[in-house]
Amino acid sequence: MQKEFSDDESIANAFLGRRAADFANLLTAQAEVVYRARKMVFPVVTSSTLHYLWHNPNVSLASVSCALEQPHQVIGQRIASLTKLNLVQRSPDTKDRRRQLLKLTKEGIKQARLLEDYMVASQVAIHSLHDELGADLSCLLNEASAALKKRPFSDRFPASESTSLGEKQ
């Protein structure tokens, strides 16, 4: 078996972001299989958007974007995907003609209920992974994000005589 490029211990930490993205992609691909088996028709990446709209009907795209801390463009793409699947509908905002309000269709509500069932059942699978690893990944990810927000990655580099991260070269 060929060794992965980022498996080299001398560079593994330098590619931590890539490894995190690879893990997210792997988990998403494996969750897609579970979604299909459970008759969930929407892409895994739209799950948080669908869930938010179920619990917060008649909101704007900007509201969803702010609540999920995702760029408007990303949420717009997810809404477009859910709309194409007839899970979300748009309606004009009577108070502001520039805005459209989003809410789930009847089929969207059915899919949101399936998502809720999945979320409960997924706890068993996630806890199994935590047990296998001897670590709570959800907790570690939250702690790592909080730590980087408190003290950015760039502030963690050792001082260098040749360059400073805050200066242009």
pLDDT in tens, 79-135: 999 999 999 999 998 888 888 999 999 999 999 999 999 999 999 999 999 999 999
Question: Is residue 106 in a domain?
Answer: yes
Which residue would you say has higher pLDDT here, 137 or 4?
Answer: 137
Question: Is residue 79 in a domain?
Answer: yes
pLDDT at 169: 45
pLDDT, mean of residues 42-58 = 97
DSSP β-ladder status, 88-93 and 96-104: antiparallel
- Inter-residue contact 49 to 85 (CB < 8 Å): no
- Inter-residue contact 89 to 83 (CB < 8 Å): yes
- Quickly count helices (H) and strands (E) in the chain: 6, 2
Which residue would you say has higher pLDDT here, 140 or 12?
Answer: 140
- Inter-residue contact 49 to 79 (CB < 8 Å): yes
Question: Is residue 109 in a domain?
Answer: yes
DSSP-assigned letter for residue 151: S
Question: Is residue 133 in a domain?
Answer: yes
Q: Residue 125's domain is classified under what CATH number?
A: 1.10.10.10
pLDDT, mean of residues 25-34 = 97
pLDDT at 159: 80
Domain ranges, residue 108: 42-149
pLDDT at 165: 55
Question: Is residue 68 in a domain?
Answer: yes
Question: Is residue 110 in a domain?
Answer: yes
Beta strands in the chain (DSSP E): 88-93, 96-104
- Inter-residue contact 60 to 99 (CB < 8 Å): yes
- Considering its fold, how many domains does the chain have in total? 1
In 3D, which of 92, 90, 83, 99 has the Cα closest to residue 46?
Answer: 83
Beta strands in 24-116 (DSSP E): 88-93, 96-104
pLDDT, mean of residues 12-30 = 90
Question: Is residue 115 in a domain?
Answer: yes
**SS3 category, 169:** coil
Average pLDDT, the chain: 90
pTM for this predicted structure: 0.82
